[in-house]
Amino acid sequence: MQLQRKLLSYERKLEKLKESKERSIKHLKQRILKKDQKLKRSSMKSLRNSLWKITSKIVRHTEKYCFTCLPKDKKLLPWKLRIAGHFFDKHEFPGMKWEMLNVHTQCEKCNRRRHSFGARYSCQLIRKYGYEAILKLEDLALYRKSIKFKYSREELENHIQDRSEMLKKIEDGQTV
């Protein structure tokens, strides 16, 4: 009798251990599934960073000279010395960070002195795109700043997809 009781007691303990183990496994599977879902869905910060990297590469591939240097100073810039510089500051006007009209290749000297070279940058923008286009760019920048514009996840993902395709064409030597 006593042996049977001990055996029953061990069997119950074994059942509890099995149940506990199954619960632990189920819990671990749920945690792994949640982590997988998080990994698949990139954070907004990583999407913004990805879009900037792609935009910067496009600009640096398509413009091989500093946009703001004076004509007498213009030299072909090696890839590593090309910086994607903004006309409307990316911190003051965050909604303009990825606008292609707002970003151009610059040498380090021009990019670091962007406040003192603002007039030169504007002249170059007017030469390249025309006065009306620059007024529209300015209106867009001021509007986005006034409403504290932020891209949605979907907009960022769409821009990343479009610009990735554009970058691939550029790297393959096709015109865009």
- Please check whether residue 8 lies inside any domain of the structure: no
pLDDT of residue 21: 77
User: What are 40-95's pLDDT values in tens digits?
Assistant: 678 999 999 999 999 999 999 999 999 988 777 788 999 999 999 999 998 999 99
- Please check whether residue 30 lies inside any domain of the structure: no
Number of separate domains in the chain: 1
Q: Can you give the residue range of the structural domain that contains 74?
A: 59-171
Paired with 83 in beta bridges are 106
pLDDT of residue 25: 75
3-state SS string for 74-107: CCECCHHHCEEEECCCCCCCHHHCCCHHHEEEEC
Mean pLDDT for all residues in the chain? 87
Mean pLDDT value across residues 106-127: 84
- Please check whether residue 13 lies inside any domain of the structure: no
pLDDT of residue 30: 78
pLDDT of residue 7: 72
- Helix, strand, coil percentages (3-state) for the chain, rounded to 5, are 70, 5, 25
- Please check whether residue 24 lies inside any domain of the structure: no
DSSP 65: B
Question: Number of C-alpha atoms within 13 angstroms, CB side, residue 149?
Answer: 20
pLDDT of residue 40: 60
- Please check whether residue 6 lies inside any domain of the structure: no
Instruction: Name the residue type at position 28.
Output: L
- Please check whether residue 48 lies inside any domain of the structure: no
Separation in Å, CA 109 to CA 17, 82, 113, 127, 135:
69, 11, 6, 21, 26
